[in-house]
Amino acid sequence: MGKKILAVYFSQSGQTEAIVKNFVRPIIADGNEVEFLQIQTTHRFPFPWSIPVFFDTVPESVEVIPTALEPWQTQSGQYDLVILGWQPWNLSPSIPFNSILQDERFKKLIKSKPVITISGCRNMWINAQEKNKKLLNQAGAQLVGNIALVDRHPNHLSYFTIFHWLGTGRKDRKWGIFPRPGVSEKDIAGVARFGTIVKDYLRENDWNGMQDDLADNKAVPVKYSLMFIERKAGKIFQKWVDIIRKFPHKRKSILVAYKYYLAVALLVASPVILAVDFVFIRPFNQKKIKRQMQYYKGVTYREKI
């Protein structure tokens, strides 16, 4: 007998929707029923959107502050599996996604239920997933799987291409020379292979070992240089938000300063910091680094890592 699955997602550009629907294809083909629920918020987040409007989401996304949701309904109150399609904003779960995870009705729906998170992003998802883990833990959900699809191009290049995509709505080559932004169409279509892995565990309703299986098949890419930058950046982002909270009347001007700081930090400072780390720190912390990378590939949650 087929299982009943709820697939919940927020998608501005259509990328996350495509990822989720390709992911569940093998699951549906195996005789299971998948119901889709698209997250809608009262305040609309535009796409494409201007750079100032995008950066205006920084304080609320970093502090995981929810916004009001449009009324939502599901066909059932009981599901064998819940799939959550999401994306990071500012090293945090997007505001619409954090809002559904903090919705009291939704928390009751996913309590004690197995949950799989699946994301599409530029390249940094670790900090945001830790916040997701905390919210799911608070809701009493059982996180059994995580999949992260990323833009495979170098960090500096994808920084430029992502803003081209956000600002124009076009997933094409900036000036005809930069690579295409976002998760590649090949990877979006190929996410079905992870759905094939999941369907086998779903048949048995036994999730033991599934995340290891997904990780072995490169479902959760953890690159040391990005992990290092992201762990540092997450703390810095919070400091900027603290300044905004202290001087709310200067929010716009502080966010302008933050925008330029971010560009300098990523394009200039981070290569220098990584070089220093490579010579003086990384060689002497191999066991700790390996332990951290292994943790981020998993689904357990710890307050301190």
39-81 pLDDT tens trace: 999 999 999 999 899 999 999 999 999 999 999 999 998 999 9
Residues 122 and 264 in one domain: no
- Residue 146 inside a domain? The answer is yes
Which residue in this structure is represented by tokens 């048995």? 204
Q: What's the token pair of residue 79?
A: 């599901």
264-295 pLDDT tens trace: 998 899 999 999 998 989 999 999 999 999 99
Q: Which of 164, 195, 221 is the last residue of a domain?
A: 221
Q: CB under 8 Å to 70, separation ≥6 — which residues?
A: 40, 41, 42
- Residue 255 inside a domain? The answer is yes
Residues 236 and 197 in one domain: no
33-38 vs 4-9, strand pairing mode: parallel
> Is the model's pLDDT at 304 over the cut of 90?
no
The pLDDT, as a whole number, for residue 194 is 98
Residues 270 and 209 in one domain: no
Residues 63 and 138 in one domain: yes
- The phi and psi torsions of 273 (rounded to 5 degrees) equal -65, -40
Residues 122 and 147 in one domain: yes
- Residue 302 inside a domain? The answer is no
Nearest to 297 by CA among 238, 233, 224: 224
Residues 132 and 234 in one domain: no
- Residue 300 inside a domain? The answer is no
- Residue 301 inside a domain? The answer is no
Handedness of CA 143, 128, 229, 121 (dihedral sign): positive
- Residue 131 inside a domain? The answer is yes
| Averaged pLDDT for residues 129-138 | 98
The pLDDT, as a whole number, for residue 256 is 96
Residues 152 and 239 in one domain: no
- Residue 204 inside a domain? The answer is yes
d(CA 287, CA 247) in angstroms, rounded, equals 42
Residues 216 and 234 in one domain: no
Number of domains comprising the chain = 2
Nearest to 2 by CA among 25, 28, 26: 28
Q: Which of 221, 241, 260 is the last residue of a domain?
A: 221
Residues linked to residue 52 through DSSP beta bridges, in sequence order: none
The pLDDT, as a whole number, for residue 272 is 92
199-230 pLDDT tens trace: 999 999 999 999 999 999 999 999 999 999 99
Q: CB under 8 Å to 276, separation ≥6 — which residues?
A: none
Residues 93 and 166 in one domain: yes
230-253 pLDDT tens trace: 999 999 999 999 999 999 999 999
Cβ(79)–Cβ(5) under 8 Å?
yes
pTM: predicted TM-score of the whole model, two decimal places: 0.97
Tell me the CATH number at 130: 3.40.50.360
> Is the model's pLDDT at 128 over the cut of 90?
yes
Q: Which of 221, 240, 275 is the last residue of a domain?
A: 221
73-116 pLDDT tens trace: 999 989 999 999 999 999 999 999 999 999 999 999 999 999 99
The pLDDT, as a whole number, for residue 105 is 97
Residues linked to residue 69 through DSSP beta bridges, in sequence order: 41
141-185 pLDDT tens trace: 999 999 999 999 999 899 899 999 999 999 999 888 999 999 999
Q: What's the token pair of residue 115?
A: 């949950």
Residues 109 and 200 in one domain: yes
Residues 154 and 241 in one domain: no
Residues 41 and 181 in one domain: yes
- Residue 74 inside a domain? The answer is yes
Domain of 199 in residue numbering reads as 4-221
